[in-house]
Chain A
Amino acid sequence: MRDRIPTPSPPAPSRRRVLRGGLALGASGAAALTATGCGSTLAQGFTGGAPSPSRLNFWNPFTGGDGERMLAMQDAYRASHRSVDLKSATFLWGNPYYTKLTLATLGDRPPQAAVIHLSKLPTLAEAGLLTALHPEDLARHGLTEDKFDARPWRKSQFNGKPHAVPLDTHPFVLYFRTDIAEKAGLLDNKGQLADVDGPDAFIDVLRAAKEVTGAWGGSIASVKDASMQFRIFWSLYRQIGGGDLVADQGKRVVIDTAAAAEALAYIRRLSEEKVIPANTDGKGAITLLTTGKAGFLMDGVWQALAVQSAKVKFDMRPLPRIFKDAPYACAADSHALVLPKAPSAKAQRLDLSLGFAASMLHSSKLWAEGGHVPAWLPTQRSRAYEELEPQSHYATAADGAVYDPAAWYGGAGGTMQTVVGDVVTTVFTGDASPTAGAARLRRELRTLASRPAPV
């Protein structure tokens, strides 16, 4: 905004001293930094050299409630690997994160290890940004196929080779206040939600909850959260049997507009019948649940800790089976550890990075507490996980997990989520009709598909 430089007016040289003083002060500050160990990093800034071999840089996009668990997992690693200088950095989820990761790898300074969403794996691998992992290297660290949940493991493959070590599956689920549900008479004798499946049944449930709360039945983020809107649409669209949105890695649009219109019409019903507010952002949606102004919340599992920290009675379960035209489906993705392609083997530190990945998997219980369904079978099948409440209550949702459509513009927080989510929002808020929304979806997807793929 401001590259404007003015010219000077006649001299006022007395300021010179102040300027000099300022420079000297800054210079001595920089010198002090150099002396106290920041120095090598600053020197690298001039030379572009690689960091020291004991250094392990790790990047992740965990800014939700799960990030806290990730810190605990890193602490566990540090405690058992004292010689490694682990430095982690968290960036804003979605496009900003993947852009950073891409630019860093292109710029020959990627982190040694990073977390990605498996929905992004094909694009990143195709672009040559990820190191292919060899089974014998993985086996050296105990990372063998039989120890992983089959679905995310399969998603970790690219051209028949593993390119990532899956950490979890994280579906889009339903949170509910048990106290409110009980007052509304929605619980069966085992304390489970009865009769939430089916389009009318689910709305009846929400309406019953609304009578108890006096405000809303449920909540979902719709303001500044296109991805959440994408998730509900994608879940319903798949339950209706709409199939894929695009094919051929995103080059062809195969959206079933009738199914899309039906899904959108249902989403509109939720706000039109005033059981869910249409003007809530991510934080607001959670707050409605925790303050008792809504009995239900549709959100990702990663908010489990955020809801738990409010210390209210709540439970979680898979997203209801609202439509029964196709096998059960709910939007989901998986986190996985990857090794971005480094300029040299020395900079890659393969074994150090894989050791770190293994350590993360061994901490899967901690990760599960953050809400995610662990991909590491020794944890997923453990007693301790089964006893974890409410986290184990929705583990079955992972079986109906549908990943984002495969396209270079798709994936977590990517362009497709933004474009589709924005359209869904306009229908949800009533600014567009479901049929108009479905038509616009097809149009927007066609525009995306017509672009030549960069990979």
Chain B
Amino acid sequence: MTAIATRPETEHRGTTAPPARRRDSERLFNRVALGTLIALAVLWLVPLAWALATSVRPAQEVVTNPTGWFTAHPTLKAYGEIFDAGKLPYWYANSFITSILTTVLTVIMASLAAFALSQTRFRLRRAAFVMLLAGIMIPGQVLMIPQFLALQSAGLLNTYWGVVLPQVPNVVAVFVFKQFFDGIPRELIDAARADGAGWLRTYWQIVMPISRPAVSAVTIFVFVGVWNNFLWPLLVVTDPEMMTLPVGLTSVQDVFGVPYAQLMASAVLGAIPLLAVFALFQRRIVEGIAGTGLK
């Protein structure tokens, strides 16, 4: 955590050019490697593919032949039934609203704090930094009981704020910003200050515009984290129409033994939004992890 350094991208290495007598073993090794990889990758895709395949099969067919893959009569009936049950649009909306709110608040607060720690000098700066560092080691889930009680006494259970607020103090996000801000040339800040800009203006007009990569990395990961959070919304949201997607999909039940086609359709519906985000931002996400400051 302390060794925060962004690694420059090296060019992709292909296989190295070996001496001629080594070429055969090299080629063989490559073939085995490729075969293994493809086999594993296909295996990795099986659960999602099976869910997709099951979700479009008629319910009766799933009962008679549960492990079949293909159907002669594909149907979207299971999806229709889920939508008819009526709560899915709420869950999507709730997940979307809470994720956006948390992300926005986190980005603003974490970047402000990081800016203060990185660029300004104040008393107790070091103490503040150490305290923050200690915060990384507090596992949030362990504090679920007092957090719940605090929100209960504030009357915020079953509101978006109840889901959002406890997820805002994200220490790692501060470090991500701080690491980025530390790399900003000092002269840039000094010049702005010399022009008479206050700290807030420097932050907003100089620093933030050039910190888009940090902002988007934090955005994506906070968004995904909040969208996928299960335990916390499970506690604070009990009203079926206030639930987030993961909680709603797994705690609100249908009567009379939910057909598997329908269960798999819910799984697919739950998977789609983030798979879409991933497909759109694949490189960004992967680069984000690759350049991780946690190294």
B214 CB to nearest chain A CB (Å): 5
A1-37 CB contact bits vs B (8 Å, 1 = yes)?
0111111111111011011001100100110010000
Contact A104 B238 (CB under 8 A): yes
A446 at the interface (CB under 8 A from B): no
Contact B294 A67 (CB under 8 A): no
B122 CB to nearest chain A CB (Å): 24
Contact A8 B176 (CB under 8 A): yes
Given the known inter-chain contacts A103-B235, A109-B238, please indicate yes or no for A48 contacting B280, CB distance below 8 A: no
Residues of A within 8 A of B140 (CB): 3
A47 CB to nearest chain B CB (Å): 7
Contact A47 B238 (CB under 8 A): no
Residues of A within 8 A of B290 (CB): 6, 9
In the bound complex, how far is the Cα of B290 from the Cα of A9, in angstroms?
Answer: 8
Contact B288 A6 (CB under 8 A): yes
B241 at the interface (CB under 8 A from A): yes
**CB closest chain-A residue, reference B151:** A107
A158 at the interface (CB under 8 A from B): no
Residues of A within 8 A of B157 (CB): 103, 106-109
In the bound complex, how far is the Cα of B94 from the Cα of A18, in angstroms?
Answer: 22
Given the known inter-chain contacts A10-B6, A38-B89, please indicate yes or no for A4 contacting B214, CB distance below 8 A: no
B80 at the interface (CB under 8 A from A): no
A396 at the interface (CB under 8 A from B): no
Given the known inter-chain contacts A7-B217, A62-B255, please indicate yes or no for A22 contacting B159, CB distance below 8 A: no
Residues of B within 8 A of A2 (CB): 225, 228
A377 at the interface (CB under 8 A from B): no
In the bound complex, how far is the Cα of B179 from the Cα of A152, in angstroms?
Answer: 66
Contact B90 A38 (CB under 8 A): yes
B82 at the interface (CB under 8 A from A): no
A150 at the interface (CB under 8 A from B): no
The B interface is mostly helix, strand or loop, or mixed, namely: helix
B9 at the interface (CB under 8 A from A): yes
Size class of the contact patch on chain B: 35 or more
Contact A41 B241 (CB under 8 A): yes
**CB closest chain-A residue, reference B7:** A9
**CB closest chain-B residue, reference A67:** B255
Contact A9 B218 (CB under 8 A): no
B1 CB to nearest chain A CB (Å): 11
Task: Specify which of B94, B213, B219, B251 is in contact with A92 (CB 8 Å cutoff).
Answer: B251
A352 at the interface (CB under 8 A from B): no
Contact B256 A8 (CB under 8 A): no
In the bound complex, how far is the Cα of B257 from the Cα of A65, in angstroms?
Answer: 7
Task: Specify which of B90, B219, B241, B251 is in contact with A100 (CB 8 Å cutoff).
Answer: B251
A55-66 CB contact bits vs B (8 Å, 1 = yes)?
001000011110
In the bound complex, how far is the Cα of B224 from the Cα of A6, in angstroms?
Answer: 13
Contact A5 B172 (CB under 8 A): yes
Taking A9-B290, A67-B254 as known contacts, 11 extra A-B pairs with beta carbons closer than 8 A to each other, sorted by chain A number, are A5-B173, A5-B217, A6-B293, A8-B288, A9-B288, A15-B216, A42-B93, A48-B158, A103-B235, A107-B236, A109-B238
- List chain B positions with a Cβ less than 8 A from chain A: 4, 6-9, 89-90, 92-94, 96-97, 100, 140, 152, 155-161, 170, 172-173, 175-176, 179-180, 212-214, 216-219, 221-222, 225, 228, 235-236, 238-242, 251-257, 277, 280-281, 283-284, 287-294
Q: List 29 A-B contacts (CB under 8 A).
A: A4-B294, A6-B292, A8-B6, A8-B180, A8-B214, A8-B217, A9-B6, A9-B287, A9-B288, A10-B9, A12-B283, A19-B219, A22-B280, A26-B96, A29-B92, A29-B93, A38-B89, A44-B159, A45-B159, A46-B160, A47-B159, A48-B156, A62-B255, A67-B254, A90-B253, A90-B254, A103-B235, A104-B158, A107-B158
Nearest 10 pairs of A and B residues by beta carbon: A67-B255, A107-B157, A9-B291, A7-B293, A104-B238, A6-B292, A8-B213, A8-B217, A89-B240, A48-B159
